[in-house]
């Protein structure tokens, strides 16, 4: 099993839609999880951390399912400006401190 897997998409949705991405991971001992956003030809930037209890930031909700070893990102009321690639980030299985990025899920929000 790969250390982290994401559906690359693309997800094409209309403005105002709700869209969800999942990311599975293999390291059951992982404690820290993150979602990053990467715009075309730009560096990734932190969107939100993922907490065990789930967390919400405006239109964005991140959740962790330890039993099934996946994290999710829900975007409500999609905006054109949400169009980007969303990368999940998990600790490597060696628990050395390295962070592994998923290949990313591309979201295209259309008018």
Partner 1 sequence: GAGVSQSPSNKVTEKGKDVELRCDPISGHTALYWYRQSLGQGLEFLIYFQGNSAPDKSGLPSDRFSAERTGGSVSTLTIQRTQQEDSAVYLCASSELAGGAGELFFGEGSRLTVL
Residues numbered 31 to 90 that lie near partner 1 (CB under 8 A) are 31-32, 34, 36, 42-46, 49, 87, 89
Task: Kindly determine how many residues on this chain lie close enough to bind partner 1 according to the rule CB under 8 A.
Answer: 24
HEC per residue, 3-36: CEEECCCCEEEECCCCEEEEEEECCCCCCCEEEE
CB of 82 to partner 1, least distance (A): 19
Of 10-18, 29-37, 54-62, 64-72, the window that binds partner 1 (rule: CB under 8 A) is 29-37
CB of 44 to partner 1, least distance (A): 6
CB 44 within 8 A of CB 27: no
Backbone φ/ψ region at 102: left (φ over 0), alpha (ψ -120 to 50), beta = beta
Q: Report if residue 98 touches partner 1, rule: CB under 8 A.
A: yes
Among 4, 57, 59, residue whose Cα is nearest residue 33: 4
Footprint of partner 1 (CB under 8 A): 31-32, 34, 36, 42-46, 49, 87, 89, 91-92, 94, 96-104
């Amino acid at each position: 099993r790969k250390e982290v897997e994401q559906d690359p998409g693309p997800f094409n949705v209309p403005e105002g839609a709700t869209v969800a991405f999942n990311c599975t991971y293999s390291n059951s001992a992982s404690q820290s999880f993150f979602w990053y956003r990467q715009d075309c030809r730009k560096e990734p930037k932190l969107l939100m951390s993922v907490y065990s209890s789930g967390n919400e930031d405006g239109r964005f909700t991140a959740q962790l399912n330890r039993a099934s070893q996946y994290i999710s990102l829900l975007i409500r009321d999609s905006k054109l400006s949400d169009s980007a690639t969303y990368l999940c980030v998990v600790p490597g299985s060696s628990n050395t401190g390295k962070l592994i990025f998923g290949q990313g899920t591309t979201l295209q929000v259309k008018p």
